[in-house]
Amino acid sequence: MANLFYELGYFESAEPDLMEEFLMGCTNDPLFAEQWHLNNTGQAGGTVGNDIRTCQAWNITTGCANVVVAVLDHGLEFNHPDFINISPISFDTENGTTPSVVRGDHGVPVAGVIGATQNNNLGVSGVSPEVQLMSISSSLVLAPLLSQRLANGINFAWQSGAAIINNSWGSNSIEQQGLINDAINNAVTQDRDGLGTIVVCITHNHSASSIAFPSNNPQTIAVGAINRTQSRASFSNFGAGIDVVAPGVSISTTDRQGALGYNQTVGSNGDYTPVDGTSFAAPQVAGIAALILSVNPSLTQQ
């Protein structure tokens, strides 16, 4: 109608007055207002707009269940109330068996950044809340056979259909790095019918001018962290090989339930926590990759 009015020649201009959701209301999760990395309105002195633009992205897609994101970490709580999208396929690298188990506090917050359930009037929202999360559990302790176990986890993930693998771990002290590099190289060249799995890694939290293994493998996406004001997070490694940065300070996400995890408050208030680190910047990138593949699954890893 606006075009018709304009083409009549009787009006200087004509344009539709569209009804749009106000960005603050783009999800009903009660802790969304704290998730400045998703929508920075200046919370706690942050820079307005210094976020990853999820409200705008969610107008296009919130992800789809055909995209599987593997979380190689301490393992997920399958019964967490803010996860309804965990894949039935899982693996524990320590025992070499399924299902995965919870071996620490780190995996649940990482996974929540990627795919916590949205619009359920509960907790937080993930970046890509409609994707499937695949739990690959590991102790992540520097010990004999660690390299082989982590490589096994990567191989299990891509061979089981993961389009993206998030690795919020790393260390230059890991021995037999070739085993892990081989697994990464297989993932990015062989999975998704040759299109390649996306492998996301952290640069690490030592404020060093070099990035940590395995993010220094050029076939990974190496992720550093920024704070609320568009500056490098003080802990984030930087330097040659870094690909991208994402928010990594005071990231509100899921936690192990009740008195477990980082927030040891008894009851449902203990199911969520703010966390710092490149570990929580990387899963934002994994979530963004999941949104992209949800729209165009034919894209290659590159």
For 118-170, give the secondary structure using H, E and C.
CCCCCCCCCCCCCCEEEEEECCCCCCCCHHHHHHHHHHHHHHCCCCEEEECCC
Residue 41's identity, in one-letter code, is T
CB 83 within 8 A of CB 76: yes
Q: Is 185 left (phi over 0), alpha (psi -120 to 50) or beta?
A: alpha
Packing angle of the helix pair 177-190, 146-159 (nearest 10 deg): 10
Q: Find the catalytic residue in 29, 37, 51, 73.
A: 73
Known catalytic residue: 106? yes
Say which amino acid occupies 222: A
Q: Is 279 tagged catalytic?
A: yes
Q: Considering 100, 106, 252, 255, which one is annotated as catalytic?
A: 106
Annotated active-site residue in 128, 138, 236, 279: 279
| Catalytic (active-site) positions | 73, 106, 279
